[in-house]
């Protein structure tokens, strides 16, 4: 079983390492020069729950790859997915399964440009990971994966179940689920409030949650996500999704955390994934004739902030 990890960042490093440890033939694929050079020279240095491990994993630029993969797992940034899939197109055969665990909404269309729907498996994950520098991963805590087939029929379903079994073999705690679309929208709605608000207001989740504006903002944004999801056959439980957003506010649990979008833009001056969160709702809203004014303005404001900061 030949597995390609398309995007060997934090989460790609975790999945690549754990699958390799389970005996699979894993190839990391990336385009970041320093990261590739470091892993080729020293291996992938992993802080595994405080213990240093070194993984000698092969890592390649897309153009260096030969042959095809049985499974490609995508872990690029959302904005990099299309370019990565174009670059590794020669490694994807009609039998290659493609697993997408990216955060956010709107990756289906990108992926279906590159693989047939019958081979496409989509999901989301609660695993976390960090990169502390080129060639250095920080892997702590536990997680899980939910995935399902995008194409219809028993063969597509069997393919997804097979991938879930393979990931679980490697300790990645994966389950086949028919609710992936629901959980994707649910998670995106949370990110669509918390990530964007903390980025625009430059604060942690507790500080935002403590403002008198938090409640009306989260209600309107969750309603916009739910209105769009309903047009795709997903009926979000609005009250439950709102309650789920509120769980991020208490300062004595996770409220002091600064979400990933804040870290991308405010801390590291990188462009955000807002086009795959509120921006996706805004695009789909126009497509379905559903008003999404808060998502529209949030997306415009985050992009304005990226441009003003000249984010890379």
133 versus 293: smaller Cβ distance to its own copies = 293
92 versus 206: smaller Cβ distance to its own copies = 206
- The stretch among 2-10, 141-149, 154-162, 196-204 that binds its own copies (CB under 8 A) is 196-204
Cα dihedral 189, 195, 201, 203, rounded to 10, equals 120
x-or-dash pattern for its own copies, window 203-242, by CB under 8 A? x---xx-xxxxx-xx--x----------------------
126 and 141 Cβ atoms separated by less than 8 Å: no
DSSP label at residue 180: H
**Spatial distance between the Cα atoms of 117 and 70, rounded to a whole number of angstroms:** 15
Q: Is residue 115 classed as helix, strand or coil in its secondary structure? A: coil
- Choose, by CB under 8 A, the member of 59, 163, 200, 280 that binds its own copies: 200
42 versus 213: smaller Cβ distance to its own copies = 213
Q: Which of 70, 77, 64, 60 is nearest to 265 (CA)?
A: 77
- Closest contact distance (angstroms) between CB of 65 and its own copies is 36
95 versus 213: smaller Cβ distance to its own copies = 213
Chain positions 277 to 306 lying near its own copies, rule: CB under 8 A, are: 291, 293-294, 296-298, 300-301, 303-305
**Spatial distance between the Cα atoms of 59 and 193, rounded to a whole number of angstroms:** 36
10 versus 203: smaller Cβ distance to its own copies = 203
H/E segment holding residue 231: none
105 and 280 Cβ atoms separated by less than 8 Å: yes
**Spatial distance between the Cα atoms of 160 and 121, rounded to a whole number of angstroms:** 6
Q: Taking CB under 8 A as the rule, does residue 63 contact its own copies? A: no
19 versus 221: smaller Cβ distance to its own copies = 221
Tokens of 196: 């964007």
- Closest contact distance (angstroms) between CB of 308 and its own copies is 5
H/E segment holding residue 97: strand 92-100
**Residue from 187, 256, 284, 286 carrying the catalytic annotation:** 187
- Closest contact distance (angstroms) between CB of 298 and its own copies is 8
- Closest contact distance (angstroms) between CB of 243 and its own copies is 20
Residues belonging to the chain: 312
Q: Is residue 95 classed as helix, strand or coil in its secondary structure? A: strand
- Closest contact distance (angstroms) between CB of 278 and its own copies is 11
Question: What is the total count of residues that contact its own copies (CB under 8 A)?
Answer: 27
Does residue 187 have an active-site annotation? yes
Q: How many helices (H) and strands (E) does the chain have?
A: 12, 12
x-or-dash pattern for its own copies, window 1-40, by CB under 8 A? ----------------------------------------
Q: Are strands 145-149 and 51-55 parallel, antiparallel or unpaired?
A: unpaired
- Closest contact distance (angstroms) between CB of 203 and its own copies is 5
Q: Which of 302, 246, 244, 245 is nearest to 278 (CA)?
A: 302
Tokens of 246: 């509120």
What residues line the site for its own copies (CB under 8 A)?
197, 200-201, 203, 207-208, 210-214, 216-217, 220, 291, 293-294, 296-298, 300-301, 303-305, 307-308
Residues with catalytic roles: 187
């Amino acid at each position: 079983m030949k597995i390609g990890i398309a995007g060997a960042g934090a989460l790609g490093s975790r999945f690549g390492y754990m699958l390799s440890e389970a005996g699979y033939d894993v190839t990391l694929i990336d385009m970041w020069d320093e990261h590739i050079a470091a892993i080729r020279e020293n291996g992938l240095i992993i802080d595994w729950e405080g213990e240093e491990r070194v993984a000698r994993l092969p890592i390649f630029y897309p153009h260096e790859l030969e042959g095809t993969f049985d499974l490609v797992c995508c872990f690029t940034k959302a904005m990099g997915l299309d370019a990565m899939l174009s670059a590794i197109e020669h490694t994807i055969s009609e039998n290659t399964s493609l697993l997408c665990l990216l955060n956010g909404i709107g990756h289906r269309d990108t992926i279906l440009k590159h693989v047939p729907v019958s081979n496409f498996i989509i999901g989301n994950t609660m695993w976390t990971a960090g990169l502390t520098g080129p060639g250095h991963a920080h892997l702590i805590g536990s997680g899980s994966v939910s995935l399902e087939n995008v194409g219809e029929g028993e063969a597509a379903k069997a393919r997804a179940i097979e991938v879930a079994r393979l990931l679980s073999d490697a300790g990645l705690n994966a389950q086949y689920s028919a609710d992936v679309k629901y959980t994707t929208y649910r998670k995106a709605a949370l990110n669509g409030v918390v990530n964007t608000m903390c980025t625009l207001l430059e604060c942690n989740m507790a500080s935002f949650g403590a403002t008198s504006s938090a409640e009306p903002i989260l209600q309107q944004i969750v309603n916009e996500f739910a209105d769009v999801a309903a047009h795709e056959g997903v009926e979000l439980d609005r009250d439950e999704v709102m309650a789920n957003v509120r769980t991020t506010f208490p300062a004595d649990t996770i409220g002091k955390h600064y979400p990933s979008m804040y870290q991308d833009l405010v801390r590291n001056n990188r462009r955000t994934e807002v086009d795959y969160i509120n921006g996706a709702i805004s695009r789909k809203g126009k497509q379905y004739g559903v008003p999404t004014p808060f998502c529209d303005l949030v997306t415009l404001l985050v992009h304005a902030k990226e441009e003003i900061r000249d984010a890379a």
